[in-house]
Amino acid sequence: MKRVYIAGAGIISPLGRGLVATEKALRENRSAVRPLDLFPLVQGRPLPAGQVSGLDEPGPLPRTHRLACSAALQAVADFGKPPDALILGTTTGGILTTEQLLREQEQEKEPYRYHGLHTVAEYLARELACTGPVLTVSTACSSGAAAITLALEMLRSGRAKNILAGGVDSLCRLTYFGFHSLQLVDKGGCRPLDVQRRGMAVAEGAAMLLLTTEKPASPLAELAGAGLTCDAHHPAAPHPEGRGALLAMQAALSGAGLDPDDIDYINLHGTGTPENDLAEAKAVHSLFTPPPPVSSIKGATGHSLAAAGAIEAVVSAIAVAKGLMPANTGFQEPDPALDLVPLQEPANRPTHAVLSNSFGFGGNNGSLIITRPEKFPLPPDRRPGSGLAIFGCSCLTGAGDTGATMTGIRSGIPIAGTAPIDTISKDLPPGLIRRLKRLPRMALSLAVSAHKDSGLKQKPMSVFMGTGWGALSETYDFLTRLGESDEQFPSPTDFVGSVHNSPASQAAILFGATGANITTSGGDYSFEQALISADLLLRGTDKTALVLGADEGHATLSPLLDASISPATSLADGGGGLYLGRLREGSKCRVRVPFYQNGLTDDAVPALIDSLGGQRKLQKECALVLAGIPAATREKGERQLERFMDLSALPVPVVRYRQYTGEFTSASAVAAVMAASYLETGLVPGALVQGDDLILAGKQNKILVLGMGHGLSVMEFSRP
């Protein structure tokens, strides 16, 4: 077990830019929530919002990217070298720019190049010269906390020594009108825990933590523990008893090796909505008797969504470093139902340990524990994992389900395209999917089929999902209706469904999966990032999990957003699902992700080969290479593949699987299922390798799924 120090921190929020300005605003106990003026409204008075002032003048770079860059540069200002990895939580990406482009009916692809959530983290990586793993997490309002949790696990596992982690979101029409459509916005401002509270104030901002296992000269604080759970209860409402929130806090305490009595202050999620505050209060009372001092800063900042957990992690670090417990701005009268009276004025007192909560749509909960450096002893280490065992798998392609897809490949029939919605939904309960559109139906179908294929009665503890673009149908339909109705009648159902983690949350609700629920959105590496997340968060447990990867083809948005889809490209979509765990007994095969690098360097391919055991080991054990080369990066990917084959000297077939699946960002999930299926049967169809059937026998029993293009990754599949 290693200590994880906060070596640097950056923050930009409605309260100001930087640690000094933030501390000053907190001590003054002032609110920065004011009427929105970032973009014009068609009608009506603007609602209160937490808007950042003084951001650099806009250019082609979207507002989210500029917010993230401001916080990141602050965090690494005194570091002197690039971080080993970067993990970022966000829900908006470049949507504010995309909204305007769609209103202007822009048809060229170039202006949309920064739409994807992954583009924010990748932009930061280029600016900071970070060539290691770059992960994008999107778990609604717990995204920032989830990103920091993954960073903690990656550092403690020894896979990195220094990681920049945090969250960012900008204001946009989607969130501004979306939360208003759910009647969750208080027109009088945000008043967390107050008896008269009526809702939240949507906000924006960014915060980043530079986390390291190498003790700095003057660490700001220590990240001691973290916990992630899912309510598995409702797509938008919290569990009424705060069940998931309680489990997250307990997991954070356990990870830090602390007791509830060790916590000096709780930074509440405290959105100001009646149900959320009540559920959190119940969870706090279940764990703390009596609770320590508590407050929510959202009355001062507003709710900055994916950035909230990271902003409040920085505030928690300030609390520890400066002995400052922030006030609950806007609070006036206690609510007897909560039995929780927050700090009404900033308190100056020694603060050794802070618990910070972040909860989001889909019941995604995250809790962080930040302490004074080396104040508490380290807890015992958990046994690290060594790969994941696959018990069941499933896929969807234009050909249909797993059986139809594998039959098509075996027969040499094209499987690219978009399967009819009825085909995708055929094994799902009609009542469950009545209001669901394409992507959540795909995710549920993959989840149900993978679990069924396992033959196990045990249900998954966690759900991990990779998706490059999220729910395009819901996003497009929400924005279209918003425009057509002159901003009067946006769809609350489409808004809830538009968040990237909605499909994974639906799967958690279906299976009652109350463990970590992570959605990654890393472009063409989204599924690989989901597998990495599963490997990190399943350490020390014998529970099982679903790892899904899926993207939908959308006739309007896909050609605009996906660089690999040209006007001449046929629309395709699909995905894959794995039901897996740590225990090997009864598994079909094993999978691990030994290498993932975002930036390309001269030693990237040799490093990948080393991660697989070197040239000799590869030649003895590898039987097949499935290469994923997106059309947008074909030349670069082909050069990478050529170098890999030259340096490894592998005398095995190479299959460029996108020629079969078609172009969509989660195609690697289908390739993963292909690899698992071939290892289970011991045979690779001759039609796939342009020859006779390939028999997998003896020591030559590994299949590699390579991801090439902007980055470089490998998924290694082997017999149990």
Q: What is the pLDDT of residue 234?
A: 92
Q: What is the pLDDT of residue 503?
A: 97
Decide if 303 is catalytic.
yes
Q: What is the pLDDT of residue 281?
A: 98
In the chain, how many domains are there? 2
User: Residue 568: which residues within 8 A CB-CB, separation 6 or more?
Assistant: none
Name which of 88-97, 380-389, 573-582 the model is least confident about: 380-389
Residue 554 has pLDDT above 80, yes or no: yes
Which residue, of 305, 336, 371, is where some domain finishes? 371
Strand-pairing partners, residue 465, are 519, 548
Q: What is the pLDDT of residue 567?
A: 81
Catalytic residue among 303, 451, 500, 710: 303
Owning domain of residue 579 = 388-718
Give domain status of residue 130, yes or no: yes
Are residue 361 and residue 505 in the same domain, yes or no?
Answer: no
Give domain status of residue 165, yes or no: yes
Mean pLDDT of 181-209: 96
Which residue type, as a one-letter code, is found at position 613?
G
- The CATH number assigned to the domain holding 703 equals 3.40.47.10
Q: What is the pLDDT of residue 48?
A: 96
Mean pLDDT of 282-288: 98
Specify the DSSP class assigned to residue 540: T
Q: What is the pLDDT of residue 388?
A: 95
Catalytic residue among 118, 233, 239, 269: 269
Mean pLDDT of 284-305: 98
Q: Which residues of 504-543 are buried (b: 16+ CB within 10 A; e: fewer)?
A: bbbbbbbbebbbbbbbbbbbbbbbbbbbbbbbbbbeebee
Give domain status of residue 382, yes or no: no
Are residue 263 and residue 176 in the same domain, yes or no?
Answer: yes
Are residue 433 and residue 309 in the same domain, yes or no?
Answer: no
Give 349-393 pLDDT, tens digit per residue. 999 999 999 999 999 999 999 999 999 999 887 655 668 999 999
Give domain status of residue 380, yes or no: no
Give domain status of residue 566, yes or no: yes
State the DSSP string of 654-704. EEETHHHH-S-TTHHHHHHHHHHHHHHHTEE-HHHHTSSPEE--TT--EEE
Give domain status of residue 163, yes or no: yes
Residue positions counted in the chain = 720
Are residue 451 and residue 334 in the same domain, yes or no?
Answer: no
pLDDT: which is higher, 293 or 386: 293
Q: What is the pLDDT of residue 384?
A: 58
Q: What is the pLDDT of residue 386?
A: 67
Are residue 275 and residue 401 in the same domain, yes or no?
Answer: no
Catalytic residue among 69, 141, 172, 395: 141
Are residue 316 and residue 400 in the same domain, yes or no?
Answer: no
**Confidence band for 568, pLDDT divided at 50, 70 and 90:** confident
Are residue 349 and residue 428 in the same domain, yes or no?
Answer: no
Q: Is 672 left (phi over 0), alpha (psi -120 to 50) or beta?
A: alpha
Q: What is the pLDDT of residue 385?
A: 64
CA separation for the pair 569, 161 (Å, rounded): 42
CA 488 to chain centre: 31
Give domain status of residue 122, yes or no: yes
User: Residue 705: which residues within 8 A CB-CB, separation 6 or more?
Assistant: 626, 628, 657, 668, 671, 672, 675, 714, 715, 717
Give the Å distances, CA to CA, from 352 to 27, 215, 340, 375, 567: 19, 18, 22, 7, 58
Which residue, of 341, 371, 401, is where some domain finishes? 371
Instruction: Say what the alpha-carbon torsion angle 329, 331, 332, 335 is, to the nearest 10 degrees.
Output: -170
Which residue, of 371, 405, 423, is where some domain finishes? 371
Q: How many CB atoms are closer than 10 A to CB 220?
A: 22
Are residue 348 and residue 408 in the same domain, yes or no?
Answer: no
Under 8 Å between Cβ of 203 and 142: no
Are residue 542 and residue 635 in the same domain, yes or no?
Answer: yes
Are residue 395 and residue 334 in the same domain, yes or no?
Answer: no
Are residue 451 and residue 324 in the same domain, yes or no?
Answer: no
Select from 511, 579, 448 the least CA-distant residue to 231: 511
Give 436-489 pLDDT, tens digit per residue. 999 999 999 999 999 999 999 999 999 999 999 999 999 999 999 999 999 999
End-to-end CA distance of the chain: 28
Residue 346 has pLDDT above 70, yes or no: yes
Under 8 Å between Cβ of 615 and 580: no
% of residues, the chain, pLDDT over 90: 92
Q: What is the pLDDT of residue 501?
A: 97
Are residue 544 and residue 505 in the same domain, yes or no?
Answer: yes
Give 392-447 pLDDT, tens digit per residue. 999 999 999 999 999 999 998 889 999 999 999 998 999 889 999 999 999 999 99
Residue 700 has pLDDT above 90, yes or no: no
Give domain status of residue 381, yes or no: no
Give 652-693 pLDDT, tens digit per residue. 999 999 999 999 999 999 999 999 999 999 999 999 999 999
Average pLDDT, the chain: 96
Residue 599 has pLDDT above 80, yes or no: no
Decide if 269 is catalytic.
yes
Give 19-60 pLDDT, tens digit per residue. 999 999 999 999 999 999 999 999 999 999 999 998 877 778
